[in-house]
Amino acid sequence: MAKRNNYDSEFCGSLPLNHINVIQTYGYLVVLDAGSYRILQVSENCAGLFQADLPEITSNLFSVYAGTGQLKELQQRFAERSKVKIPLPLTIAGKRLLALAHFKEKLIILEIEKEDAGTERSFTNVYDEVKYAMAAMESAETIEEVSRTAVYELRRITGFDGVMMYRFDEEWNGTVIAEEKEGNLENYLGHTFPASDVPKQARELYLKNPYRLIPDRQYVPVRLYPVINPVTRAFIDLSDCNLRGVAAVHLEYLKNMNVSASMSIRVIHNNTLWGLIACHHLEPHYLSFELCSVCEMISSVISNRISAILNKTLFDVESELQKQQTALIAQVYAEDDLVAGLLNENGTNLLTMFQASGAVAAYRGGYYTLGDVPDHDMVENLLLWLQNKNIERVFCTDQLPGLFDEAVPYAAKSSGLLAIAIAKEKGEYILAFRPEVVQTINWGGDPTKTINFDPDGTKYHPRASFKIWQQQVHHTSDAWTVQELETAENLRTFIYEFSTKQANY
């Protein structure tokens, strides 16, 4: 295949995951009026918890079944922080339970943990391990080291059979960069999963939820009663609820992976979903609210450490680019000649600054080159193409042969292009080329078969196989970074000022 494809799915991304209106079986859901504490909706399994019929439950105040003193106190303290889920101990029908309280403008949503949910380990039991895990991750110096430490510690703390961490690329495909597993789980290290596996709407929900737990993919969904919320007159929005039911297509996806339980934990960088940690278990596997809170805390530690490393790397890159830009400008002034300064063979030049293999300056009727560049005729036609595209500032691509047909024979030396306009109307440009970098992508299954519809079109299914499907990507260079483009824009401003000053002499 000659170029990269975008495997994000508009179809999957349009599914209303937050209005699914059912919950999983490992807890109870209660929706209260935020002003009166009247019960508006409950999950149908609440009949056993409250020991009453559903119509009776939803005709009463919450205080009929549980004390509301602590709930009112929490509401007063946290109502303005609606994104925060607050742990709340409750006693209902003589049972001591733990709930998570969500305070909305008109509603209070309570996610109540089942009294018999059980867990192999509690927060108290793992506290020392958590301290060690946090210390290990905070001392890691590279993304790879953080990732390996994170999956190792999370697997040790949660007891999942396998834990893997993958990072998203610019097109939201996720490549596995660390993995810890045992048993019969498949090995996915180095595999890339297409963006449609975590479609847009699911990615957005991870900005509201630090984790997503599915203890048993074979659970029977529990409906809400009544179906329509009487205050909002619509399905309840379960965006930030851990108990939210799971789309059937994702449950089938887990079945095809041969796992019974899963947990996904987010990794955030600059308020954007940078990656996910995926935990899998061959048998049903439940984690208590307390242990999930530990995972949430570890998620923050991982995100903070990765952000610190990425920010330091960014600072170093920006500093080096600034240093080279300053040297290049000084060189131009020393030579008192734009071309001689930019294309100097012995010092800093466009090739070293932009990690390019060749450069061309079309300036004031002259044609100047440095390094490995395409033939003159091809470059002349490329300059006309840039003029016709009205490139007046900075233009870049890492797939030039896909945009400009005449570049195909020169893909080995010019798959990437950075063009800095000097005077578009005169066809004056500075060009920097990058060579082709042939990539082999090991997809976790054929990315072109992410969704399969039944013959009648009424049902759809995820792909059934996750075996390696290799793709070779040609006619593509290393991508130009945001920092390089900012440097190119600064250089364009300098070139304009220097050229104008010389023209006036």
Domain borders along the chain are 10-16+117-220+245-311, 27-96, 336-438+474-503
Domains 10-16+117-220+245-311 and 336-438+474-503 share a fold: yes
Q: What is the pLDDT of residues 196-222, one digit of tens each?
A: 889 898 999 999 899 999 999 999 999
- At 489-502, the pLDDT tens digits run 999 999 989 988 87
Residue 501 has what pLDDT? 81
CB 398 within 8 A of CB 415: yes
For the 336-438+474-503 domain, the top CATH level (class) is alpha beta
Q: Token digits for 189?
A: 């290290």
- Give the whole-angstrom CA distance, residue 392 versus residue 195: 34
For residue 31, the one-letter residue type is V
- Is 13 strand, coil or helix? helix
Q: What is the DSSP string of 456-498?
A: TSS-EEE-S--SEEEEEE-S--PPPPHHHHHHHHHHHHHHHHH
First to last CA, the chain: 53
Note the pLDDT of residue 122: 58
Packing angle, helices 123-138 and 289-335, rounded to 10: 10
Check residue 479 and give its pLDDT: 95
Q: What is the pLDDT of residue 182?
A: 87
- Residue 323's pLDDT is 96
Question: Measured between alpha carbons, how far is residue 309 from residues 127, 172, 280 in Å?
Answer: 26, 21, 28
Find the radius of gyration of the CA atoms of the chain. Answer: 29
Query: In CATH, which of 3.20.19.10, 3.30.450.40, 1.10.1740.10, 3.30.70.260 is domain 10-16+117-220+245-311?
Result: 3.30.450.40
pLDDT of 2:
44
**What pLDDT score does 210 carry?**
94
Conformation bin of residue 157: beta by default, left when phi > 0, alpha when psi is -120 to 50: alpha
pLDDT recorded at residue 216: 97
Is residue 495 within 8 A of residue 422, CB to CB? The reply is: yes
Quote the pLDDT of residue 140: 93
Split the chain (505 residues) into runs of 10 and give each run's mean pLDDT: 51 55 95 93 96 95 89 77 78 89 91 72 69 90 96 94 96 96 89 91 92 96 95 91 92 93 97 97 93 92 96 95 95 93 91 96 95 96 96 95 96 96 94 93 78 60 74 92 96 92 69
Q: Which two tokens stand for residue 259?
A: 């796992």
Q: Residue 80 has what pLDDT?
A: 65
